[in-house]
Structure formats: C-alpha cells, structure tokens
Structure 1
Amino acid sequence: MALVDLTKGVRGYPVRPPASGMVRRRSLWARVHLDPWLMLMLLVLMSAGLVVLYSASGQQMDTVIAQATRFGFALVVMVVLAQFSPVTLVRWTPLAYGGALSMLIAVEVMGDMGMGAQRWLVIPGVIRFQPSELMKLAMPMMLAAYLSRRELPPRWRDLLVCGLVMALPVLLIARQPDLGTSLLVMCAAVFVVLLAGLSWRFIVFLGVLTAAALPLLWLNMHNYQRQRVLTFLNPESDPLGSGWNIIQSTTAIGSGGVFGKGWLQGTQSQLEFLPERHTDFIVAVLGEEFGLVGVLLFLTLYLMIICRGLWLANAAQDTFGRLLAGSIILTFFIYVFVNVGMVSGILPVVGVPLPLVSYGGTSSVTLLAGFGILMSIQAHRRLLPR
C-alpha cells in the first residue's frame, strides 16, 4: 500500500502547516455572541443618559439608581437573548406573539389604571409592566417568521395575513389609549413588510389608503389626542393649557444656545417649568444644559448605533434574520426621530421616550432585548431551514 503524502492537498498542492502562534482563539466577545462596537456605543449612551437623567429628575439619586438597576437587568436580558440562535427564535416566535397578545387582552379586561390610561398589568409585590412593550418585538418576529417561509416579494394573500396579524394588537394598544406605542408597533410591522420587498405600485396604494383613512382616524381619536394635533399646529392658541408643554420645551432648547448653560444650571428644568422633563421631554433638558453641541453629540451617537445595526442586519445570511434585524434597528430610529421631533415642535406630542435616556423600565428592557436579538443574528450566521 502506497504511503500518503500529508504535505500534499487534494489536488497535489502542498499544505503549509500553520505557523506557531497563527491559530487564534475566539475572543471573549465572540464566545458570548456580542458585538463589541455596538455594545460599547450602547454603554456610552446609557452612561450619558444617566448623567442627563440626574439633572432632569431634580438631582434625585434614587431615580438614577432605579434607572441604572433597570439597565443592569436589561443588559442581562440582552446577553441571554444573544445566546439563542435564529432557529430557536423562530421556533419560539408563535408562543411569544400569542403570549404578548394574551397579555394585551388581559390589560383590556383587568389592567391597572394610571394617568387616565389602562396600560399596565400588575403582579402584586413583584412587578408592574406594560405588555404593549413586548409586542414591539413579538410583532416583527411573527411577521419575519411568516414571510421567511413564503415566496418574496409577498403576494396579496400574504399581505392580508400580515395585516390581520398586525391589526388586533395595534387596535388593543390604541384602546388603552396609547397612541405612541401603537404607532411604534405598527411601524415595526410595516418595516418587516417593506423589507420583504414591495412594488412601488403597492406602496403608493397603501399611501392613498392611509390618506383616505385619516378622517376616520380623526373621528375615533380621544379628545386629548385631537387637542395634541391642534396644539401642534398652533401651540400659542392655549399657552397656559395644552400648549404649555411644547412652548416650555422649545423655550428650554432655544435658551441653551450653542454650548448650553451647563450641567444642573438649566432654568426651565430646574425650576420645574418643563413638564415630564425626565421622561418624554428629556431632550429639552439636554438642549438647555448642553446646548446645540450636546444635542448633536447625542444624535451622532444614535446615528452610529443605527449605522452599526444596519450593517449587522445587512450581514445576516437568512431572510428571517434580515427582516427582523432591519425592523429592530429602523424602529429604534423611529424612537429617536419621533421623540426629538415632538420635543422640538415639528411633530405632535405622542408620548414616545428618548431610547435609553428617558426614565422608564419596560421600554429599556424591550430596546436592549431587541439589540440582543440583533447580536444573535450576527453571531449565529447560518441559514435557516425552509
């Protein structure tokens, strides 16, 4: 029997043994399935957000500690979700969607009231949370899983199914009422469908249909929601009432100038002229104390996170991963755009927080959970079975 020459490859080419030190071990980031650049930017954003929150909360250290604790829990959720492969996520998607929908129905039946809205479920002595936040992930996951098993671009029948999957949760959230969250959930769903590939003819049709439905939407809005739209068009019509928030917000931002008044030196925020300054209107605190430069730095950080997320979404190797990752990062962009737009007066006030800066628990967990799924899609780059 002839001896096998181990120095030759399959076609006779020599195989060069690896040089000493050339075999590199996987980095810690790769072993825990996390993207180091995205992780670093998120940590910088959360840290800077805590600094702004300290001032916005009236220098209440308890508020900052509570927010930091929520960030810690949210980071754990992010790391855990990053360990699950897209195959596993697809398997659990129907259960996640069904569970979130069941909780929305439970809110409708026995939800806890707060600030004139019925949005929360309470487990006595354990937790109080908004199930609508869970639908921001469950909705795009469900649509991405469905469309990944269909021929793309989607046909009319598939689009009808997607519309039915989207309609019930959005209507339940809008009834709470929570217009801001219902719009974000709808955007997450629409992004999945758009990324699946739609002809311009159908997009134009949807635009015309949406425009035609606006009068019906107006008739079904609550009085305070209609007032928000009217106030957006003319804040000075009721400066001491419905227009107070936006007038004080734009005043605070304008008074900050280019470099701001300095940390903890804001007048509109520190003297409590600015309402909801630690939640929806925290950008006004940022603009007043750090000026245009501070706002631009935050927006640049957000832009870097969005660009990195889009790069990771584009690198996904399967349809489910691309659709879900794209929807997650584009919804994050909508968060930033709507919050900055409503605080600066170019959009109506709809109650959307500034991601990972505004005070809030469930929204922070949902956002970082989404980034955990995004990192999972990048780390487990393999094709899903069809």
Structure 2
Amino acid sequence: VLAFGEVSKGAQRWLNLGFVRFQPSELIKLAVPLMVARFIGNRPLPPSFRNLVIALVMIFVPTILIAKQPDLGTSILIAASGIFVLFLSGISWRIILAACLLLGAFVPILWFFLMHDYQRTRVMTLFNPESDPLGAGYHIIQSKIAIGSGGLHGKGWLHGTQSQLEFVPERHTDFIFAVIAEEWGLLGVLFLLGVYLFIIGRGLLLASRSQTAFGRMMAGSIVLSFFVYVFVNIGMVSGIL
C-alpha cells in the first residue's frame, strides 16, 4: 500500500488491481487476532512476559503502519482485536490494569502529537455536530434527522426522504443504519439489534465451549471485535457517541 496504494479522500489505503479495488487493512482485521491467537495458543498459558511483548509487537506493527495511511479508526479497531486475544489468554488483572493506565497516559500524546487536524475535528464534531452544521457535522445531523423521522414503523422500503434524496451521504458505509431506521422505524432497528445480539451471544457461547485455547481466543476476540464495531458505528451514526 505504501508503494502502490491509491490515494482516495486524502488517505492512501486502497490497492487497485484493475479488476478489483480493496483495502488490505480489512484483511488485517482478521489476520492480527488469528496470528496472535496462534502464537499464544501454541505456548503455555497464561503467557510469559516475553511472549506478551512479542504478541504486542505483532499487534502494533500493522497498527502503526495503518495509522500512518492515515486511518486511525481502523488501526484502533485492529489493535483492539489483538488485545482481546491477550485478555482471553488468562493474563493477570494487574497487567490489564497497568495496560489501561498506560493507555490513559498515552491518550494526550495521541491527541496532541499523533492525530491529524481533521481527525481531531471529527472527534470534536461527534460531541457537538451543530457547531459546524454545513461542514464536519453535516453527516451526523442528517443521520439523526433520518433516524428520528422513521418513527415507530418507518416510511417504508425506498421511501425515506433523507436517504433517497441523498441528504444522508455515503449511505453504503456506517450510515446505512440511518437508512434502515428511516425506512423501517424503531421496530426495524430493534429487530436488527436483536439479530446482532443473537450473533454476539451465540459467538460467545461457541467460544466458551471451544476445546482448545486457540479456538477460544480466536472466536472470543472476533466476537468482541464485532461487538465493538457495531457499538461504535451505531453510536456514531446516531449521535450517542
């Protein structure tokens, strides 16, 4: 990607092979937890300090490379998927607490020195989209209007005014949730959330029944990552986060 990546919307994230255009970082979302789970699962549990350090290197090398594209959101989610594997490996709660404290100390460094201006603007817009209703806050404001206008039963399939008249841009991305809420209403949203909860619950059950450490860590990390994706995406689109 660094050498041959295609620049789109200010970020070099895509590979264009002629017949297909894709983001390699999407493959990394599965590759990182798979790689870490295989490494940790083939060694005594809980992992030793040395193995923890090696696992962290395996997690943060691709994370840093993806963050430099820049794609901070994807890099954070990839790091989380790998860290979930470590949590499920049985490490001490003291280590987890220390890691959380280090993460908290790292946040100011991330904010002031590593994040781009547009990334800081996006974060601030999440808290107050009305501060820039025609600029950075436009997407979220239109999304909230679409969600609220759906009411209980929705406006019907392909009858959403905000979505079909393209007031909600990028409908094929996370904002598809706003389209569903407008067209199918609260009942449709509750059904969708029920499906998500069923998938997550079923995944955690299968992970707990796994006969191998690798299977437990791999399945558990994928399910927890899926939960984070759903929670963050819906929260951002609806203005809750």
Category of TM-score, reference length = shorter chain: over 0.9
**3-state SS of the aligned residue for 2:2?**
helix
1:169 matched to 2:52? The reply is no
Name 1:324's counterpart in structure 2.
218
What amino acid is the match of 2:136?
A: S
Q: 1:12-56: per-residue Cα shift (whole Å, max 9, x none)?
A: xxxxxxxxxxxxxxxxxxxxxxxxxxxxxxxxxxxxxxxxxxxxx
Unaligned runs of 5+ in 2: none
Mapped partners of 2:140, 2:21: distance in 1: 29
Q: 1:92-130: per-residue Cα shift (whole Å, max 9, x none)?
A: xxxxxxxxxxxxxxx012211112211112223x32221
Q: Could you say which structure has the greater relative contact order, defined with CA pairs below 8 angstroms and 6 or more residues apart?
A: 1
Mapped partners of 1:191, 1:164: distance in 2: 15
What amino acid is the match of 1:205?
A: A
Mapped partners of 2:168, 2:219: distance in 1: 36
Unaligned runs of 5+ in 1: 1-106, 348-386
Aligned residues: 240
Q: 1:39-83: per-residue Cα shift (whole Å, max 9, x none)?
A: xxxxxxxxxxxxxxxxxxxxxxxxxxxxxxxxxxxxxxxxxxxxx
**3-state SS of the aligned residue for 1:108?**
coil
Q: 1:193-217: per-residue Cα shift (whole Å, max 9, x none)?
A: 0000122221111111111101111
Q: 1:165-184: per-residue Cα shift (whole Å, max 9, x none)?
A: 11110011111111222122
1:217 matched to 2:110? The reply is yes
What amino acid is the match of 1:259?
A: H
1:109 matched to 2:6? The reply is no
What amino acid is the match of 1:184?
A: L
RMSD: 1.2
Counterpart among 143, 146, 161 of residue 252 in structure 1: 146
Mapped partners of 1:270, 1:243: distance in 2: 20
Counterpart among 263, 282, 293 of residue 176 in structure 2: 282
Q: Is the 8 A contact 2:151 2:185 kept in 1?
A: yes
Name 1:273's counterpart in structure 2.
167
Q: Is the 8 A contact 2:122 2:136 kept in 1?
A: yes
Mapped partners of 2:226, 2:130: distance in 1: 31
After TM superposition, the structure 1 = structure 2 runs for residues 1-386 of structure 1, keeping only pairs within 5 Å, are: 107-124=1-18, 126-218=19-111, 219-347=113-241
Q: Is the 8 A contact 2:12 2:70 kept in 1?
A: yes
CA shift, 1:314, in A, is 1.7
Mapped partners of 1:258, 1:200: distance in 2: 44
Name which of structure 1's ranges 289-298 and 107-116 shifts more when overlaid on structure 2. Answer: 107-116
Task: Please list every run of at least 4 consecutive aligned residues from structure 1 whose deviation after the TM superposition is greater than 4 angstroms.
Answer: none
Mapped partners of 1:333, 1:323: distance in 2: 15
Mapped partners of 1:112, 1:240: distance in 2: 28
Q: 1:234-259: per-residue Cα shift (whole Å, max 9, x none)?
A: 11111111111111111111111111
Mapped partners of 1:285, 1:224: distance in 2: 26
TM-score, normalised by the number of residues in structure 2: 0.95
**3-state SS of the aligned residue for 2:12?**
strand
**3-state SS of the aligned residue for 1:310?**
helix
CA shift, 1:150, in A, is 2.1
Larger Rg: 1
Mapped partners of 1:137, 1:272: distance in 2: 33
CA shift, 1:232, in A, is 1.2
Name 1:58's counterpart in structure 2.
none
What amino acid is the match of 1:149?
A: N
Mapped partners of 2:38, 2:161: distance in 1: 50
What amino acid is the match of 2:147?
A: I
Identity of aligned residues (%): 59
Mapped partners of 1:183, 1:346: distance in 2: 19
What amino acid is the match of 1:196?
A: S
